[in-house]
Structure 1
Amino acid sequence: MSVVARQGFKYSLIGYFGFLLGTFSAIFIFPRDMEFYGKLRYIMPTAEMLLPIVVFGLSFSNVKFFHQTQKDGKNQNFLSLSLLGVGINFLIFTAIFFLFFTVFPQFKTLELWKMKRLILPLILVLALSAVFNKYISNFKRIVVPNIFENLFPKLANLGAFCLFFYLGVSEKGSYAFFFGMFVFSFLGYIFYANKLEKIKPDFNTDYLKKEQLWKEVLSYSFFGFLGNIGNYIAFRVDNFMIGEFLNFEENGVYSIILSVLSFIMIPQMGLFNISAPIINKTIAEGNYEELDRFHKKTSLSLFFLGSLLFSCILVGFPYLCDFIKNGEQLRQAEPVVWILGFAMLFDLATGFNGHIISLSKHYRFNIVVMLFLALTTIGLNWLFLTRTHLGIIGIAMATAISLTLFNIIKIVFNFVKFKVSPLTIEMIYAAIISTVAITVAIILPDFKSSFANLIYKPTLVLGIIFTGNYFMNIFPVEDYLNRDFFRSLFRF
């Protein structure tokens, strides 16, 4: 087995384990104290939202220029200067942060200001870790960085929550553990990077000045910054705005629902890693007819399997709440499940729209639409929070609208530039069957036992969808029920 294959297998295992751990915790542990969990879910997304400002694309530059700098024996010099750049950016960012709140003291009521002693150091640690994460990937080592990047945050959340709720540790003590996990992760990055190649600090700037390499680095980093900040803001701003405009309890409820809905995205896990080389090859060869065929096939796969899971979630969610501590709060927020679920399902239906753009010569357009998504999400969130009394339902509506517009723009762009589209008539058939299945399951009478309903309703949905698919031949389910498919889940 090659290094890439071994790394891919381990990477996938860690990814699935982290997903299951996060989902289990969100359903059975975190609901016991929605408010404290809401605080934890405010801290991390807020830090991540501001993170790109400090990193400023330097992490991506450590991938882009690695082979060139390694060839010249200056990769350690480039790494050192990148870390120094992050440190300088952080000092500038911190100065602007405090200057802003000094000039506009009315904003000191924000939770961002109240939690600055935790959020600001966390941003620095995450920024330095981001540089090491990308640097290590150059050595075709993705497993350890994946542990630090995806598993440690879940352990930090879970550990801090358990210390606070089960062991009676104070909030400050729990936050200290939370922050300590990221510090430990950062030290792990340093140790592992040093193991791969001994770290030799070198802050000499002569190499960057040579042939004005710094201009090329600055330009590339800037585009990386624009794309990254749009992505982070678009997908983290919800938790930030709920914490600021509503309360941490509502933020906890919203975060738990997101964790439940993450089941819909399971079909997508690992599939891009399999599809990326095919997409790249067809674009390079200009074979857009084959790209269109492949795009439609993968999009239908994602949509059908996502519909299957979403239908089960919709009919089972009310009964699942009966087994969750404070489940009544989740029941009251059930419209969020429907609104966000349909938006996520449409996202699956659009397949790899964004990846097609990013692998083509039009990759900069992704930055434009990502910034559009970020600004639209912020604007709509603010509108729904300040002009309505919908609470997290309004947040869900804002996110759904902006995400749908985002995907529609990419569909139109790809059709104009490449004459490819993810949408097929089979998707309409699948949507009709799923709608019928959900309607029948809801209309049929319930058992007295919530557990019986939790098993009976989703099973009924599965039966109707599979039966409809059998007669209408919409999707080749048999292709996904064989050994080769399950093996493919662990390829990278």
Structure 2
Amino acid sequence: MGSVAKQSIQTTIFSYLGVVIGYVNVLWLYPYALDASELGAFRTIQDLGLLFVPFAQLGVGHGITRYFPQLKSNQSAFLSYGIVFSLIGFATISIIFLGFKSQIIEVFAVNSPEIIDFFGIVLLITLFALLSSILDAYSRSFLKVAVPTLVREVFLRLLTGILVGSYLLRWVTFPQVMQGLVAVYGFALLGVLMYLLWLGVLKFDFRWSTFPKGFRTSFIQFSLITFLATAASTLIMKIDSIMVSSMISLEANAIYTIAFSMALVIELPRRAISQVVMPVIADHFSKGNLTEINTLYKQVSNRQLYICLLLFVGICSNLDYVYYFIPNREIYVAGKHVVVLIGLGKLFDVVFSVNSEILVFSKHYRFNLVVTIGMSILIIGLNYLLIPIYGIDGAAMASVAVMFLYNLVKYVFLKIKLGFDPFSWETVKIILVGITAYMPSYLNSYFESTIVNMLFTSLLVLVSYWFFSRLVGVGNDEWEWIKNKIKKSGS
């Protein structure tokens, strides 16, 4: 686990640098520069474009990660094969989208007609994001995850912020902002391309006959099966935002997506660790090292729960103060409950550890397809049921319910089939630490300054979390790492 944690440090740093930029964008720049309907359109078009990516990818990303360890050579041919395969998927999605464009327009025509003029941008965002995801997977197979994370989490958000900032300064019009999204995703793709060129691994070889016997058939079969699971998983994550736009309004989606973005901070350590762990799990499966996978399963669960739970407690304790600094907060404060609910759902993802990654790279990967498709159908049904009753809170309720059930089903399956279990008494201790650390946050609001109150509350939560952690004996590795970093910076 030590090597995995070490590899994930840079990725985590870049992820949180992206969070800082994202917070400035989402919590101040976007609400200040764009009115609620413009912000809703801005996010809905991006969500639609990104929703199509896994459908167009045809599972190639996971396929590259799984089958890369089997190739001692011909990696360049493998990359070109994967890109061509995914471009076939993109062409198929484009034909379907254009063929059903009038029906898609009808879905948004009543509550969100403003986005209809920007549908032409969707497929271009999909294309650039698709190619970036393939190159990300290829880079990840070399255990090079930090720079692609820098491009995805930092560079992309920085360019998007510059784009919206240009609109604030009236250098561009709103339609030009929407068109500029295409350039933003194009530059992000160019950044990953340049990095792979610098590594010397970006070469295109179309001699596919050099693959081992049966390799292509196995790769295509695995990719097509996992593509449905990945697409359904993305549908679970993106459909709520799109349904809020179509069933309520673009303004409601602006409120929802800002709240959702706050909650996403909670899972960033999980995403960073997952990027590094995926090729490790794939390698262990190729060698039959099931014991090592189960050990990793437990260690990842406890480590990321400890970090992510602290973030969840900190955000919930400071939620009123965070919304205080958002421009037009009287509009966006309606999303407070969404932050808590989605944050809770992200904690379910965290505590159940890397169950999806294990399933994808195991011989039982077909089960991941079944459960993910089932959950995608469930979330659509729950959204249709709950959004008309509870509005954006209903969309968040649907998401948290599906996140819990989704992880529970996969946990039970892995427990029965492989005997894997991520939970231990340390898991219980960490949860108790989080609960007790949150309780002192009620002692806040002593000061007139909102900033001082936020700093005081954050310090109170941090000290409480540290104290109760030491009391029950959890989080020792994390605090030791922090202490060593402080010593090094002071020397």
**TM range, normalised to the smaller chain?**
0.7 to 0.9
C-alpha contact 1:66 1:75 (8 A) present in aligned 2: no
What amino acid is aligned across from residue 455 of structure 1 in structure 2?
L
- Separation (CA, whole Å) in 1 of partners of 2:104 and 2:26: 37
What amino acid is aligned across from residue 447 of structure 1 in structure 2?
F
User: Which deviates more, 403-412 or 430-439?
Assistant: 430-439
1:104-151 alpha-carbon deviations (Å, 9 max, x no partner): 874472767542211122222333343444445556654554444443
- Separation (CA, whole Å) in 2 of partners of 1:65 and 1:421: 26
User: Which deviates more, 451-460 or 97-106?
Assistant: 97-106
- How many angstroms does 1:222 deviate by? 0.7
- How many angstroms does 1:438 deviate by? 3.3
- Structure 1 residue 461 and structure 2 residue 464: aligned? no
C-alpha contact 2:18 2:154 (8 A) present in aligned 1: yes
Which residue does the alignment assign to 2:23? 23
| Residues 412-431 of structure 1 aligned to structure 2 (within 5 Å) | 412-431=412-431
- How many angstroms does 1:187 deviate by? 4.2
Helix, strand or coil: the match of 2:52?
A: helix
Which residue does the alignment assign to 1:245? 247
Which residue does the alignment assign to 1:371? 373
- How many angstroms does 1:406 deviate by? 0.8
Q: TM-score, normalised by structure 1?
A: 0.81
- Separation (CA, whole Å) in 1 of partners of 2:212 and 2:293: 42
C-alpha contact 2:19 2:265 (8 A) present in aligned 1: no
What amino acid is aligned across from residue 125 of structure 2 in structure 1?
L
Aligned mate of 2:346, from 344, 348, 353:
344
Helix, strand or coil: the match of 2:402?
A: helix
User: Which deviates more, 349-358 or 83-92?
Assistant: 83-92
User: Which deviates more, 253-262 or 353-362?
Assistant: 353-362
Tell me: CA distance 1:105–1:413, structure 2 relative to 1, closer, same or farther (3 Å). closer
1:326-380 alpha-carbon deviations (Å, 9 max, x no partner): 2233333211122222222233222233333344332332333332332222222
Aligned mate of 1:231, from 230, 233, 238:
233
Helix, strand or coil: the match of 1:481?
A: helix
- How many angstroms does 1:52 deviate by? 2.3
- Structure 1 residue 57 and structure 2 residue 56: aligned? no
What amino acid is aligned across from residue 30 of structure 2 in structure 1?
F
- Separation (CA, whole Å) in 2 of partners of 1:8 and 1:104: 40
Aligned mate of 1:48, from 50, 64, 71:
50
What amino acid is aligned across from residue 184 of structure 1 in structure 2?
F
Which residue does the alignment assign to 1:153? 156
Tell me: CA distance 1:137–1:106, structure 2 relative to 1, closer, same or farther (3 Å). closer
| Residues 342-491 of structure 1 aligned to structure 2 (within 5 Å) | 342-385=344-387, 387-388=388-389, 390-442=390-442, 446-471=446-471, 473-477=472-476, 479-482=478-481
Which residue does the alignment assign to 1:116? 119
- How many angstroms does 1:201 deviate by? 7.7
Which residue does the alignment assign to 2:489? none
- Separation (CA, whole Å) in 2 of partners of 1:121 and 1:303: 37
1:296-316 alpha-carbon deviations (Å, 9 max, x no partner): 454333333333222222121
- Structure 1 residue 173 and structure 2 residue 176: aligned? yes
- Separation (CA, whole Å) in 1 of partners of 2:264 and 2:190: 30
- Separation (CA, whole Å) in 2 of partners of 1:179 and 1:57: 23
C-alpha contact 1:160 1:175 (8 A) present in aligned 2: no
What amino acid is aligned across from residue 406 of structure 1 in structure 2?
Y
Tell me: CA distance 1:105–1:250, structure 2 relative to 1, closer, same or farther (3 Å). closer
Tell me: CA distance 1:372–1:480, structure 2 relative to 1, closer, same or farther (3 Å). farther
- How many angstroms does 1:257 deviate by? 2.0
What amino acid is aligned across from residue 245 of structure 1 in structure 2?
M
1:397-417 alpha-carbon deviations (Å, 9 max, x no partner): 010000010111122122222
User: Which deviates more, 132-141 or 52-61?
Assistant: 132-141
Helix, strand or coil: the match of 1:17?
A: helix
- Separation (CA, whole Å) in 2 of partners of 1:70 and 1:125: 29
- Separation (CA, whole Å) in 2 of partners of 1:374 and 1:486: 43
C-alpha contact 2:108 2:246 (8 A) present in aligned 1: no
Tell me: CA distance 1:75–1:334, structure 2 relative to 1, closer, same or farther (3 Å). closer
Q: State how many pairs are aligned.
A: 476
User: Which deviates more, 32-41 or 435-444?
Assistant: 435-444
- How many angstroms does 1:393 deviate by? 0.7
- Separation (CA, whole Å) in 2 of partners of 1:357 and 1:485: 36
Gaps of 5+ in 1: 488-492
What amino acid is aligned across from residue 406 of structure 2 in structure 1?
F
Which residue does the alignment assign to 2:185? 182
Q: Identity over the aligned pairs, expressed in percent? A: 22
Which residue does the alignment assign to 1:38? 40
C-alpha contact 1:28 1:325 (8 A) present in aligned 2: yes
User: Which deviates more, 309-318 or 460-469?
Assistant: 460-469
C-alpha contact 2:90 2:127 (8 A) present in aligned 1: yes
Tell me: CA distance 1:244–1:69, structure 2 relative to 1, closer, same or farther (3 Å). same
- Separation (CA, whole Å) in 2 of partners of 1:198 and 1:449: 53
C-alpha contact 1:156 1:178 (8 A) present in aligned 2: no
C-alpha contact 2:245 2:253 (8 A) present in aligned 1: yes
C-alpha contact 2:226 2:365 (8 A) present in aligned 1: no
C-alpha contact 2:128 2:186 (8 A) present in aligned 1: yes
What amino acid is aligned across from residue 330 of structure 2 in structure 1?
E
C-alpha contact 1:159 1:178 (8 A) present in aligned 2: no
- How many angstroms does 1:396 deviate by? 0.6
Whose radius of gyration is greater, 1 or 2?
1
- Separation (CA, whole Å) in 2 of partners of 1:14 and 1:392: 31
- Structure 1 residue 162 and structure 2 residue 175: aligned? no
C-alpha contact 2:52 2:93 (8 A) present in aligned 1: no
User: Which deviates more, 158-167 or 268-277?
Assistant: 268-277
Which residue does the alignment assign to 1:327? 329
Helix, strand or coil: the match of 1:324?
A: coil
Tell me: CA distance 1:208–1:97, structure 2 relative to 1, closer, same or farther (3 Å). farther
Tell me: CA distance 1:181–1:301, structure 2 relative to 1, closer, same or farther (3 Å). closer
Q: TM-score, normalised by structure 2?
A: 0.81
